[in-house]
Structure 1
Amino acid sequence: FFSCIPASMLRPLAIAALLGAGGAAAFAPSPSLLSGLSTHSKAPLIARSPRPSASAGGGVSGMKAALSALLFDCDGVLADTERDGHRIAFNLAFEENDLKKPDGELMVWDEKLYGKLVETGGGKERMMAYWEMIGWEEGDWELAKKLHERKTKIFSDLIASGKIPLRDGVVRLVDEALKEDVKVAVCSTSNEKAVAQIVKMMGDDRASKIQIFAGDVVQFKKPAPDVYELAANTLKVKPEDCMVIEDSCIGLAAAKAAKMSCIVTKSTYTQDEEFEDAELVVDDLESANVDIVTCEGLTQSTQWEDWGIDKDIQNANVGRG
Structure 2
Amino acid sequence: MPALIFDCDGVLADTERDGHLPAFNETFAEFGLSVRWSDEEYARKVKVGGGKERMRTLLTPEFVAARGLPSDPAALDEQVARWHRRKTEIYTGIIRGGSVPPRPGVRRIAAAAHEAGWTLAVASTSAEASVRSVLELAMGPELAAHFSVFAGDVVQRKKPAPDIYDFAVRRLGLNPADVVVIEDSRNGMLAALGAGLACAVTTSAYTGEEDFTGASLVVDSLGDPPPEETVTHVLSDPLGVRPGPRVVLADLAVLPSADGAPDSTTSDPPVDGPHPRPH
In the alignment, which residue of structure 1 is the partner of 2:24? 90
Give, in whole Å, the separation in 2 of the partners of 1:302 and 1:127: 42
Give, in whole Å, the separation in 1 of the partners of 2:48 and 2:128: 17
In the alignment, which residue of structure 2 is the partner of 1:50? none
One-letter identity of the residue aligned with 1:180 = A
In the alignment, which residue of structure 2 is the partner of 1:277? 214
The question of 1:193 aligning with 2:132 is answered no
In the alignment, which residue of structure 2 is the partner of 1:300? 257
Distance verdict in 2 for CA 1:226–1:107, change over 3 Å = same
> Is there any run of 5+ residues in structure 2 with no aligned partner, and where?
71-75, 224-230, 233-245, 265-279
Distance verdict in 2 for CA 1:182–1:110, change over 3 Å = same
TM-score normalised by structure 1 residue count: 0.70
User: Contact 2:8–2:124 at 8 Å: present in 1 too?
Assistant: yes
TM-score normalised by structure 2 residue count: 0.80
SS in 2 for 1:152: helix
Give, in whole Å, the separation in 2 of the partners of 1:242 and 1:129: 33
One-letter identity of the residue aligned with 1:162 = G
Deviation at 1:205, TM superposition (A): 1.0
- Partner deviation per Cα, 1:27-46 (whole Å, 9 max, x = no partner): xxxxxxxxxxxxxxxxxxxx
Deviation at 1:240, TM superposition (A): 2.1
Give, in whole Å, the separation in 2 of the partners of 1:177 and 1:234: 19
User: Contact 1:124–1:141 at 8 Å: present in 2 too?
Assistant: no
One-letter identity of the residue aligned with 1:157 = G
Give, in whole Å, the separation in 2 of the partners of 1:141 and 1:291: 44
In the alignment, which residue of structure 2 is the partner of 1:146? 82
Corresponding residue pairs, total = 233
The question of 1:179 aligning with 2:136 is answered no
Give, in whole Å, the separation in 2 of the partners of 1:303 and 1:273: 24
Deviation at 1:241, TM superposition (A): 1.4
Give, in whole Å, the separation in 1 of the partners of 2:252 and 2:108: 13
Deviation at 1:135, TM superposition (A): 4.2
Aligned alpha-carbon RMSD (Å): 1.7
SS in 2 for 1:222: coil
Deviation at 1:141, TM superposition (A): 1.6
From 291, 297, 306, give the equivalent of 2:248. Answer: 291
User: Contact 1:189–1:215 at 8 Å: present in 2 too?
Assistant: yes
One-letter identity of the residue aligned with 1:230 = F
The question of 1:266 aligning with 2:203 is answered yes
SS in 2 for 1:219: coil
In the alignment, which residue of structure 1 is the partner of 2:2? 68
> Is there any run of 5+ residues in structure 1 with no aligned partner, and where?
1-66, 100-105, 308-321
- Partner deviation per Cα, 1:16-62 (whole Å, 9 max, x = no partner): xxxxxxxxxxxxxxxxxxxxxxxxxxxxxxxxxxxxxxxxxxxxxxx
One-letter identity of the residue aligned with 1:83 = R
Deviation at 1:245, TM superposition (A): 0.3
